[in-house]
Amino acid sequence: MSRTPFIAGNWKMYKTGPEAVETARILTQLCSNVQEIDVMIAPTFLSLPLVAASLEGSKVKIGAQNLYFEKQGAFTGEVSADMIKAAGAEYVIIGHSERRQYFGETNALVCKKIKAAIEVGLKPILCIGESENQRNKEKTFLTLDKQVSDGLKGFGLDELKDLVVAYEPVWAIGTGKTATVDQVKKVHQYLRSLLEKLFSKDFADQTRIVYGGSVKPENVKELMGIEDVDGALVGGASLDANIFINIINYDI
Ligand SMILES: O=C(CO)COP(=O)(O)O
């Protein structure tokens, strides 16, 4: 089963609108010869429509970093799936560990957000990952199992056809500490078999499972060489288009 590699940049709370547009412009030029890889960037909500307009006709895809699950209403400061879709996004990152850690997002909330995304045709990127403490206590698989089972509870296979799962060990995010090949291999294998157990073999075979956590041009080739790693979700190293392109071109 061949899965198109997915290399995504999560720009987190970096870049003003003009800065985001400029980086997207450079990235688009650098990506003109990129083939058979899905490249995506996720700027802030404010930059989303500006960057989406600047990416028109380009191979680079765009996503949001979050959404709120209600359709509309008196929810000060929140942004709905419809609004994100209308701004031009194709993907949406859901349940990033920073959202779980700083904004109290639970697996149940993540599940509602995935539902809201699917309802408007946004492709969800479900982020999961264990903390250092959970790993040390040998609760990695238990944690991931719960994040996946609860986050994807109640969905039919057809609803999840565009799902991307992003494994991001919390202790590897922004720390420069990448998980070892062996650690990544074991988790991705586990996740693929979990998707099979929860849904079906075909679904598990076709769903992209990407790795995130201190991915850099220097380590991406090794990570992408691991069976069951279908791409990367990149934070810091995606902010500069000239560095990010060396991750996208990992195979060259
Ligand atoms: O959180 C991440 C992507 O969503 C990873 O961030 P870093 O690549 O900066 O470690």
For 89-108, what is each residue's pLDDT tens digit? 999 999 999 999 999 999 99
The reported pLDDT for the residue numbered 187 is 98
The mean pLDDT of the chain is 97
Rounded Cα distance, 17 and 102, in Å: 24
Mark whether 96 is an active-site residue: yes
The reported pLDDT for the residue numbered 166 is 98
Residues 6+ apart with CB under 8 A from 34: 59, 248, 249
Q: Known binding site for substrate: residues?
A: 10-12, 174, 214, 235-236
- The ligand 1 atom at the shortest distance from the C-alpha of residue 238 is 8
- Which residues does the chain have with pLDDT short of 50? none
Q: How big is the CA angle at 46 (ends 75 and 111), to the nearest 5 degrees?
A: 50
The owner of tokens 């380009």 is 58
Tokens for 103, please give them.
């904004």
The reported pLDDT for the residue numbered 2 is 85
Does the interface predicted TM-score (ipTM) exceed 0.90? yes
CATH no. for 6-248: 3.20.20.70
* Pocket lining: 228 vs ligand 1, CB cutoff 6 Å: no
